[in-house]
Every structure is written in C-alpha cells, then in structure tokens.
Amino acid sequence: MSHNQQDDQRSHEVPSTGIASGVQLNHTVVCAKDRQVSAEFIALVLGLEISAPFGPFLPIDLGNGVTLDYYQLSDQPIQPQHYAFLVPDDQFDTMIARLEALRVTYYADPAHTDPGHVNRLFGGRGAYFADPDGHNMEILTRPYIRS
Ligand SMILES: [Fe+2]
C-alpha cells in the first residue's frame, strides 16, 4: 500500500462533523535548561505567579485559562519556540521597564534587528525579547488582524 492509499483510507475513517467549536488551548510545555530560572524570568517580566510544581512541570497560569508548563531539559539543546502574550495596554510600559531593569534587550521585530524599540502594529504596541533559553517571547497590546 502506498502512502497515498494509506492517507486516503485514513481520511475515510475519520468522522467529519465540520468545524469544531469550544476547543481551547489548555496548556503547553515550555522546555528550559533550568525550569525555575526560566519560569521566574517570564513570571517577573509579565507580573505573574509560579504555581506549585505538577510532576515534572512548573506551571504558570495565564489569565485566559492557559497554563505554561515549564519542563526541564538540562541535558539536550532547547529548540527555540515563539510565545506571544496579549497584555493590557496599561501594563506594557511596566513590562518594558522590567526588561530594562533586567538588562534584557527588546526589539520591535521578531527577527531582533531593531533593538530598544517597540512596534505599533494593529494600533497597539508590541516588543520581542529572548528568554534565558532563547525562546522568542512577544508582548503585544492588540492581537494580530489576520484578514
Ligand atoms: Fe508573534
């Protein structure tokens, strides 16, 4: 059986009921060389609290029901990911000030070519910065307009 035949057969076995509703992101794993260091970093920048450890995970609950589960991978390279946080406009300046106090460079762009500036996309403000593991973190006050 070829790949195409397998794919075709599988597609017939999966019930399709149209577009799902009520599906929400509940949690995601954030890999870190040191889960405590990385969780403390983003909790400090965003003004959040770290919850009690849950097995191998160090959770940070966001305000929308999503949990970041920091997971330690101390013996292998961390694959950088992108995490974007929609933040209240009145907290944006404080977060930038925390980055400056931590001497963490922020950038207006995701490629980190415009240091020390914030962007004004979609009528809001945004900035990018690297966490201790090189994850590309973003804070933005207005969500992307994708249409
Ligand atoms: Fe983004």
Domain, as residue range, for 70: 25-140
What spacing in Å lies between the alpha carbon of 122 and ligand 1's midpoint?
A: 13
Which whole number is the average pLDDT over 41-58?
98
Domain holding 71: CATH number?
A: 3.10.180.10
The per-residue pLDDT for 1 is 44
What spacing in Å lies between the alpha carbon of 82 and ligand 1's midpoint?
A: 7
| SS3 assignment, position 55 | coil
18 is a domain residue: no
Rounded Cα–Cα distance for residues 126 and 3 (Å): 43
119 is a domain residue: yes
41 is a domain residue: yes
Residue 96: left (phi > 0), alpha (psi -120 to 50), or beta? alpha
- What mean pLDDT value characterizes the chain? 92
Which whole number is the average pLDDT over 126-145?
97
What spacing in Å lies between the alpha carbon of 60 and ligand 1's midpoint?
A: 20
Q: What protein residues have CB closer than 5 angstroms to ion ligand 1?
A: 84, 138
The per-residue pLDDT for 140 is 98
146 is a domain residue: no
User: pLDDT-based confidence at 23, cuts 50/70/90?
Assistant: very high
Rounded Cα–Cα distance for residues 132 and 78 (Å): 10
What spacing in Å lies between the alpha carbon of 136 and ligand 1's midpoint?
A: 9
Angle between helices 89-101 and 35-46 (to 10 degrees): 130
Q: What is the pLDDT of residues 60-86, one digit of tens each?
A: 999 999 999 999 999 999 999 999 999
What spacing in Å lies between the alpha carbon of 125 and ligand 1's midpoint?
A: 12
What spacing in Å lies between the alpha carbon of 139 and ligand 1's midpoint?
A: 8
2 is a domain residue: no
- Among 133, 25, 130, smallest CA distance to 70 is for 133
20 is a domain residue: no
What spacing in Å lies between the alpha carbon of 29 and ligand 1's midpoint?
A: 17
116 is a domain residue: yes
Q: pTM here? A: 0.88
13 is a domain residue: no
What's the domain count of the chain?
Answer: 1
What are 18's two structure tokens? Answer: 């149209």
Rounded Cα–Cα distance for residues 46 and 91 (Å): 9
pLDDT at 19 exceeding the cut of 60: yes
